[in-house]
Amino acid sequence: MKNSKFWFSFFVGPILFAFIVVVIIPMFMGIYYSFTDWNGIGNTANWIGLKNYIDVFKDKDFLSAFIFTAKFAVVSVITINLMGFGLALLVTRGLKISNFLRSAFFMPNLIGGLILGFVWQFIFTKAFDSLGRLSGLGFLEGWLADPTTGFWGLVILMSWQMAGYMMVIYIASLESIPESLIEAAEIDGANAWERLIHITIPLVAPAFTVGLFLTLSNSFKLYDQNLSLTGGGPYNSTQMLAMNIYNTAFKFDDFGLAQGKAVIFLITVAAISLTQIYYSKKREVEM
């Protein structure tokens, strides 16, 4: 018993210490500064009560960024998980090139968000424009210069980057399904669609819980791809929450207001993520 306590403290203690120093203490310091007028430079931080929180809800740019981020998160969660699950089904069918396809689909996740953003910026602004002029398809021209196409540009970039990562999670879950269940369903006459709906999807529900949580949290905190692809433009119409908070802190030197926005952001993401996990867990079935 004493040995187990020692090894528990030996392995968990440093991680717990680092978590408290890096996450917990800065979080409470941030909450404190959200009630002050600190500009991030001076040593003076005067207590101003709820003024920052009141100003947050009067900030039209913040509310616009909040709505844009929420819409982006909803669409991205659906597209990324559908693509990830579809790719996982494809590469678990025993194809000869399955290993190559797994590597190819996962590759975008290894590239940094800034680099991916610049790559896709070139594709949208140069390749799409050229293709549009040659083919006469007008909707391919002027991408990223319009709020609607800028939104879909971010969705495409995020889906392309994260679908391979979700694929790995779904592959692990698909390969854990007992072959005997699939064979029994085939003997009973179930076709491929019925096996997918009534056996495969219910049994990979825990993977959907993880996949939805990861994509939801990543969609809300997206920053580097937003910066490199659209920079929040045109006229701040594609500015997401993380960029709005960053600009408030480092462009306008209003750290108190930025901390107020960050606290609201934290509470919102935590509430949505916990609610999603609660309802996803209720739909899981045990093998």
**Residues 239-260 pLDDT 10s:** 999 999 999 998 888 999 999 9
Place of tokens 């779904």: 170
Residue range 180-225, pLDDT digits in tens: 888 888 888 888 888 898 889 988 988 998 999 999 989 988 999 9
Query: 154 near 238, Cβ under 8 Å?
Result: yes
Q: What is the pLDDT of residue 95?
A: 86
Look at residue 142 in the predicted model and tell me its pLDDT. 81
Measured CA to CA in angstroms, residue 198 lies from 2, 191, 192 at distances of: 48, 11, 10
What per-residue confidence (pLDDT) applies to 81?
95
Q: Report DSSP state, residue 125.
A: I
Output the pLDDT for position 2. Answer: 62
Which pLDDT value is given to residue 11?
Answer: 86
Q: What's the predicted TM-score (pTM) here?
A: 0.88
Of all residues in the chain, the percent with pLDDT exceeding 70 is 98
Task: Give the pLDDT confidence score for residue 244 in this predicted structure.
Answer: 94
Residues of the chain with pLDDT under 70: 1-2, 284-287
| Separation of first and last alpha carbons in the chain | 33
